[in-house]
């Protein structure tokens, strides 16, 4: 157990809809990163938040957005869902930007039909 | 841009035997970290072992050890005395040591190697 939780465990959405995924970091962890893991692939970095501000972004379009809250929780929002957005979404928290280790949550499985 | 390559999609090992998973990476940075993560069917990504690039000594964690060849940009994982619980997908990952930049926390993963352990 890493102390990082994600909700929901899985969900099904229709193309064009919007979705919000949630992550609860370990207490005191100021940094959270989100990753997309397509089936049979390694995770791909979406973006990172540090102290409630975006601090780096991967090659994902603006319809992927996030929020980080003072209570160590965070959200990943995806608008205008596409079929290719079907994947496992992982969040990972760390104490600070320079921390060597990231602690992953169990992920949310999103299926877009 | 940095890349991580795992050329073995699947590996198999007999229980109690030793297996080595391969990983190569490409970077122009001198300061970085390398990781091996384990992802069982439960999907939780678990850190197995970490190597700092500035350390010449290979990292070890109980039955897990790495062979870090910096010049060759190779980072293999050796699992000794394999156990049934070792069966999982294993990912090699790279992270820049330049954590002050806006990409400092980004992990770059390989494609993964699925390890099966035969009883």
pLDDT digits (tens, 9 = 90+) for B46-79: 999 999 999 989 999 999 999 999 999 999 999 9
Residue B69 CA to residue B74 CA, distance in Å, equals 5
Residue that has been written with the tokens 């962890």 in this structure: A29
Cβ neighbours, 10 Å, residue B118: 11
Q: Is A100 left (phi over 0), alpha (psi -120 to 50) or beta?
A: alpha
B42 touches chain A (CB under 8 A): yes
A48 touches chain B (CB under 8 A): yes
Contact: B105, A100; criterion CB under 8 Å:
no
pLDDT score recorded for residue B41: 87
A32 touches chain B (CB under 8 A): no
Q: How far is CA A78 from CA A9, A25, A82, B14, B53, in A?
A: 16, 20, 10, 43, 36
Q: How confident is the model at residue A112 (pLDDT cuts 50, 70, 90)?
A: very high
Nearest CB to A42; choose among B33, B91, B100: B91
Contact: A42, B4; criterion CB under 8 Å:
yes
The model's pLDDT over A12-69, given as tens digits with 9 standing for 90+, comes to: 999 999 999 999 998 889 999 999 999 999 999 999 999 899 988 999 999 999 999 9
pLDDT score recorded for residue B88: 97
pLDDT score recorded for residue B100: 61
Question: Residue A53's closest chain B neighbor by CA?
Answer: B102
Q: Which residues of chain A make contact with B114, given a CB cutoff of 8 A? A: none
CA–CA min distance B50, chain A (Å): 9
Query: B48: closest CA among B93, B9, B4, B18?
Result: B93
Nearest CB to A101; choose among B47, B101, B110: B47
Q: How confident is the model at residue B101 (pLDDT cuts 50, 70, 90)?
A: low
The model's pLDDT over A77-105, given as tens digits with 9 standing for 90+, comes to: 999 999 999 999 999 998 887 777 889 99
Residue B13 CA to residue B81 CA, distance in Å, equals 10
Dihedral pair phi/psi, residue A103, rounded to 5° = -110, 120
A9-13, B94-98, B101-105, B107-111: segment of lowest average pLDDT: B101-105
Q: How far is CA B68 from CA A37, B71, B77, in A?
A: 26, 9, 9
Task: Show the tokens assigned to A73.
Answer: 């929780």
Dihedral pair phi/psi, residue B69, rounded to 5° = -115, 95
Question: Residue A54's closest chain B neighbor by CA?
Answer: B102
CA–CA min distance A85, chain B (Å): 18
B115 touches chain A (CB under 8 A): no
Residue A90 CA to residue A33 CA, distance in Å, equals 8
């Amino acid at each position: 157990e890493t102390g990082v939780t994600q909700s929901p465990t899985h969900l099904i959405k229709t193309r064009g809809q919007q979705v919000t995924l949630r992550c609860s970091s370990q207490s005191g962890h100021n940094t959270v990163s989100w990753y997309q893991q397509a089936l049979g692939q390694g995770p791909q970095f979406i973006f990172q938040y540090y102290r409630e501000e975006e601090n780096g972004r991967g090659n994902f379009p603006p319809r992927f957005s996030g929020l980080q809250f003072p209570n160590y929780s965070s959200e990943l929002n995806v608008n205008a869902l596409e079929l290719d957005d079907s994947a496992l979404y992982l969040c990972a928290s760390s104490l600070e930007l320079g921390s060597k280790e990231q602690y992953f949550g169990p992920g949310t499985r999103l299926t877009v039909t | 841009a940095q890349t991580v390559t795992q050329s073995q999609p699947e590996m198999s090992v007999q229980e109690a035997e030793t297996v080595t998973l391969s990983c190569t990476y490409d970077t122009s940075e001198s300061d970085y970290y390398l990781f091996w993560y384990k992802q069982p069917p439960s999907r939780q990504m678990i850190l197995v072992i970490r190597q700092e690039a500035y350390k010449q000594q290979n990292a070890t964690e109980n039955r897990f050890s790495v062979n870090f060849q910096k010049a060759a940009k190779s980072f293999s994982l050796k699992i000794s005395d394999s156990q049934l619980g070792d069966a999982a997908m294993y990912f090699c990952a790279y992270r820049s040591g330049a954590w002050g930049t806006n990409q400092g926390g980004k992990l770059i993963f390989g494609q993964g190697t699925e390890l099966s352990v035969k009883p």
